[in-house]
Amino acid sequence: MKVVLVDDEALARRRLARLLEREPDVEIVAECVDGRDAVRVLSEQTPDLVFLDVQMPEMDGFEVIRAVGPDACRAVVFVTGFDQYALKAFEVQAFDYLLKPFTDERFHQALERVRGRLRTERLDELADRLGHLLEAVPARRLSRLGLRAEGKVRFVDVERIDWIEADGKTVRVHTGDEVFTLRESIGSLEARLDPARFARIHRSVIVHLDRIESIESAEDGARHVTLRGGEHLPLSRANRLKVLDLLVEEPAR
């Protein structure tokens, strides 16, 4: 945590510096003797925290904030011997307010609150960066599956797959007249298949969309999908519209 101290009293700066030197995660990057000095420093760098005296000659703490803007640092803690400035301090987005003479305990309370805020901000920033990275990286889809059969592993292009059915903790992969077993959940496999080519039509069935020949309704209201190979597979009510949207440009309702 990079910290700037701003106070026209050398004794006050020394006490703040002494308290901060005990903190292993804190680096004092500048000490400013008045408001103009603070404006210069804050215009050149963006610290995490500024301890800012209110009453200083020529330019007080509020004028410093107005000159550099509230985004010049992540957090400002005003330090003053006069409590009448408290409300005004929070009006200019001060994070905390230390009233002289303050105790070591009150100082560390303010420092811990700043730490908490910085941790939250950094986690938010990290989440945003990761989100942008994930958006920029195209999802990697399966092109081949390693399927076990007759004591060996066969590598099969996913385009050869007609349909997949869940079978407990495994799935059965149908490719023409062959059926392979894969030790993977149907949900995990669905996430790795191209959603423009494969659709979950039932909680236990995934179908290659190009293999669908028709969708039919039974007298009892149940629906099923007929594949080109003649297989009849269940179509759940929840997935019907999704499948229709994928099969035709203007889905029937």
Residues 21, 119: one domain? yes
**Structural domain boundaries enclosing 111:** 2-136
Residues 6, 78: one domain? yes
Q: Report if residue 184 sits inside a domain.
A: yes
pLDDT of residue 74: 82
Residues 91, 171: one domain? no
Residues 205, 242: one domain? yes
Residues 50, 104: one domain? yes
Residues 167, 74: one domain? no
Task: Tell me which H or E stretch contains 62.
Answer: helix 61-68
Query: Among residues 72, 101, 136, which one ends one of the domains?
Result: 136
Residues 47, 124: one domain? yes
Long-range contacts of 91-100 (CB under 8 A, 24+ apart): 92/62, 92/65, 92/66, 93/65, 98/51, 100/12
Q: How many domains does the chain have?
A: 2
Q: Report if residue 11 sits inside a domain.
A: yes
Residues 9, 104: one domain? yes
The CATH number for 224's domain is 2.40.50.1020
Query: Among residues 136, 157, 178, which one ends one of the domains?
Result: 136
pLDDT of residue 54: 86
pLDDT of residue 132: 63
pLDDT of residue 251: 41
Specify the pTM. 0.50
Residues 160, 238: one domain? yes
Residues 165, 126: one domain? no
CA dist 215 and 30 (Å) reads 73
pLDDT of residue 249: 52
DSSP assignment letter at 73: S
Residues 6, 113: one domain? yes
In Å, how far from its chain's centre is CA 221? Answer: 43
Q: Report if residue 252 sits inside a domain.
A: no
Q: Report if residue 253 sits inside a domain.
A: no
pLDDT in tens, the chain (253 residues): 999 999 999 999 999 999 999 999 999 999 999 989 999 999 888 899 999 988 888 888 888 888 888 777 788 898 887 666 555 555 556 778 888 888 999 999 999 988 888 888 777 676 667 656 655 655 567 788 887 766 677 788 999 999 999 988 889 999 988 888 888 889 888 888 988 889 999 989 999 999 999 888 776 667 888 999 899 898 887 777 777 777 765 444 3
What SS3 state is found at 223? strand
Contact present, 201 and 234 (Cβ < 8 Å):
yes
Closest by CA position to 231, among listed 200, 253, 208? 208
CA atoms within 13 A on the CB side of 153: 6
The CATH number for 93's domain is 3.40.50.2300
